[in-house]
């Protein structure tokens, strides 16, 4: 089986990238921006909220070693998916929680995972699940 890609947002992308890069089976995790309306936004535009982008991490992984499900589980241990547009002291739409799927299978798995995870949180999960 060939490598696959996952894209997640969970607050500050550098913090999330560092964790995923340490996982066995992850070949590379790279910070970037996703799902905004400004082409090629600058960091300042993203931080201002004017571009509409989320700070996200693209994860290239070997599904024979680490599953998409495991990557989702890690995501929900790294941030609070019930926080709307913030994580800790980082506040703004660019810090929203998101799962950006690349295939229908990823969409289905993400939706099922979030439904299951909801039972473990006292507040509703606000993680957006959208096409990348």
**Any idea which residues carry the catalytic annotation?**
12
Give the separation between CA 52 and CA 59, rounded to whole angstroms: 21
Q: Is 70 exposed, middle or buried (0-12, 13-18, 19+ CB in 10 A)?
A: middle
Q: Residues 122, 126, 127, 129: is their CA dihedral positive or negative?
A: positive
């Amino acid at each position: 089986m060939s490598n696959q890609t996952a894209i997640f947002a969970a607050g500050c992308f550098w913090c999330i990238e560092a964790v995923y890069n340490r996982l066995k089976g992850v070949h590379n995790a790279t910070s970037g921006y996703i799902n905004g309306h400004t082409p090629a936004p600058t960091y300042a535009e993203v931080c201002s909220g004017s571009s509409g982008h989320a700070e996200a991490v693209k994860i290239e992984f070997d599904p024979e070693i680490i599953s998409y499900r495991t990557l989702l589980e890690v995501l929900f241990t790294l941030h609070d998916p019930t926080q709307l547009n913030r994580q800790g002291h980082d506040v703004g739409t660019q810090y929203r929680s998101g799962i950006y799927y690349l295939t229908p299978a990823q969409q289905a798995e993400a939706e099922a995972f979030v439904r299951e995870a909801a039972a473990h949180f006292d507040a509703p999960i606000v993680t957006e699940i959208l096409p990348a």
